[in-house]
Amino acid sequence: MMIAIPLMALAYSGVVLFWLAHALRKLYPVRRAAWLAFLISVAVHSATLLFLDAENRLTALIFWGVPHMLLLPLLLFSAKRADNRD
């Protein structure tokens, strides 16, 4: 059960980042859309951390920060491949 929570956090982060980047592709170039998706997600998740008490902030930061940092290279690689296809 302990492995399920980090995997769900990774899956959730992946869905949010890639969906948001895909939606932003209609407005911006592919690489810019990927970076904007990452920055928007970081801003929203950082704002939600302000509502938590001090003990839970680090745990929440780990649960959204680590998956986002793991997925950022994949997001940028995907954007680079999509940019090369176009």
pLDDT in tens, 34-57: 999 999 998 888 888 778 788 888
Any idea what DSSP says for residue 26? T
pLDDT of residue 40: 93
Give me the pLDDT at residue 63, please: 80
Instruction: Evaluate if pTM is beyond 0.85.
Output: no
The first and second tokens of residue 42, run together, are 């970081």
User: What's the confidence (pLDDT) of residue 64?
Assistant: 81
Task: Give me the amino acid identity at 30.
Answer: V
* Positions in the chain short of pLDDT 70: 1, 86
How far apart are the C-alpha atoms of 65 and 7, rounded to whole Å? 13
Task: Report the pLDDT value the prediction gives residue 86, as an integer from 0 to 100.
Answer: 66
